[in-house]
C-alpha cells in the first residue's frame, strides 16, 4: 500500500492510496478521509461512496464537499475508482464513455476480454473493505454506503445483496433498473453476456422483486437531470419499494441536474442521515 498524498483538511486527513489489487490484477487507487476523531485511537463508522460513469476517486474527493460533515459526525469516507486501469486493461475502443475504462458498473465480468480485470464487485465488496479494516480505524460493524448514478446502482445492489452489512443506504440519481435502460443494457450485456436473466443480481428493482430487502433508503434526484427519464427512472424504484414495504424517502430536487453541483448541495444532508443511523 502506497500513500500517494496525505493532506490536512477540517482537522482530519485526506489521503489518496494506491495498492496492488488481486481482484483486478492491476494497481487500484482510492481516497479516504480520516476525520479528527480518528486521532483518538478508537474505531469510527465508515461511509463507502461509489462514483459514476467516467469518474475516478478524484471527482468526489475534489468536488463532493463531504469533509466538513464527516469531521462533524466522525465518519470515515472511502471513495474507490470505477474500473481497473493500466497497460493491457481492455477498453471500449469505439470511443464511448459508458463502457470500459471508467465504467466498470460494479460487476465481475464473465465475458472476454473483460473477465480478467473487470472484477469491481469483488473489489468493492471484499478486497477493499478488508484492506480498509486492516489499515485504518474503521468500525466494520457500522457501515453505510452511498453513490452517484452508476455508483448509485452499485450502492443499491451491493447493499441489497449483503443483508445486515450496511446500517444506512442512500444514493444520488441512481440507475435503479439497469436491465431496462440503455446504459445498463450495454454494460450488463458487455460484461455478463446476452442473457438478461443473468443481469438480475445486478439490478436493484429486480433484486427487490426477487425478495431482497432494505429497512429504509434515501434517494435524491434532480428534476432537471437530463438522464431522469431515459436512464434513471426513479419511479421504478418507488413502485418496487412500495410493493416490498421498503421505507423509501425519494426527494425530487427542483431544478437540479446530474452534476457535482447537485451532489455537493445535498451531501451534508445525506451524511447527517447516515450519522443518525451509524453514530
Residues serving a catalytic function are: 149, 225, 258
For 129-158, letters b (16+ CB in 10 Å) and e give bebbeeebbbeeebbbbbbbbbbbbbbbbb
Q: In what order do the strands lie in the sheet with 12-20?
A: 2-9, 12-20, 27-34, 76-80, 44-50, 138-147, 166-172, 216-222, 247-253
Neighbours of 62 (CB within 10 A): 11
Residue 213: Cβ within 10 Å count: 12
Q: CB neighbours (10 Å) of residue 194? A: 11
Task: Quote the cell numbers at residue 37.
Answer: 476523531
Do 90 and 123 touch, CB atoms closer than 8 A? no
Amino acid at each position: 500500500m502506497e500513500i500517494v498524498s496525505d493532506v490536512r483538511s477540517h482537522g482530519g486527513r485526506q489521503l489518496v492510496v494506491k495498492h496492488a489489487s488481486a481482484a483486478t490484477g492491476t494497481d487500484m487507487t482510492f481516497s479516504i478521509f480520516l476525520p479528527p476523531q480518528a486521532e483518538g485511537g478508537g474505531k469510527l463508522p465508515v461511509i463507502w461512496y461509489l462514483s459514476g460513469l467516467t469518474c475516478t476517486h478524484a471527482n468526489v474527493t475534489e468536488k463532493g464537499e463531504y469533509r466538513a460533515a464527516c469531521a462533524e459526525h466522525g465518519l470515515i469516507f472511502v471513495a474507490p475508482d470505477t474500473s481497473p486501469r493500466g497497460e493491457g486493461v481492455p477498453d471500449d475502443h469505439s470511443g464511448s464513455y459508458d463502457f470500459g475504462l471508467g465504467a466498470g458498473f460494479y460487476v465481475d465480468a464473465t465475458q472476454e476480454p473483460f473477465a480478467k480485470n473487470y472484477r469491481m464487485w469483488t473489489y468493492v465488496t471484499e478486497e477493499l473493505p478488508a484492506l480498509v479494516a486492516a489499515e485504518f480505524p474503521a468500525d466494520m460493524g457500522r457501515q453505510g454506503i452511498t453513490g452517484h448514478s452508476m455508483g448509485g446502482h452499485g450502492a443499491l445492489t451491493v447493499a441489497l445483496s449483503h443483508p445486515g452489512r450496511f446500517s444506512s443506504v442512500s444514493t444520488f440519481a441512481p440507475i435503479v433498473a439497469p436491465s431496462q435502460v440503455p446504459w445498463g443494457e450495454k454494460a450488463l450485456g458487455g460484461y455478463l453476456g446476452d442473457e438478461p436473466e443473468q443481469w438480475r443480481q445486478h439490478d436493484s428493482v429486480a433484486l427487490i422483486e426477487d425478495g431482497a430487502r432494505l429497512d429504509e433508503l434515501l434517494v435524491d434526484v434532480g428534476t432537471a437531470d437530463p438522464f431522469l427519464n431515459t436512464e434513471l427512472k426513479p419511479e421504478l424504484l418507488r413502485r418496487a419499494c412500495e410493493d416490498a414495504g421498503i421505507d423509501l424517502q425519494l426527494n425530487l430536487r427542483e431544478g437540479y441536474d446530474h452534476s457535482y453541483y447537485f451532489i455537493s448541495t445535498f451531501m451534508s444532508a445525506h451524511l447527517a442521515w447516515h450519522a443518525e443511523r451509524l453514530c
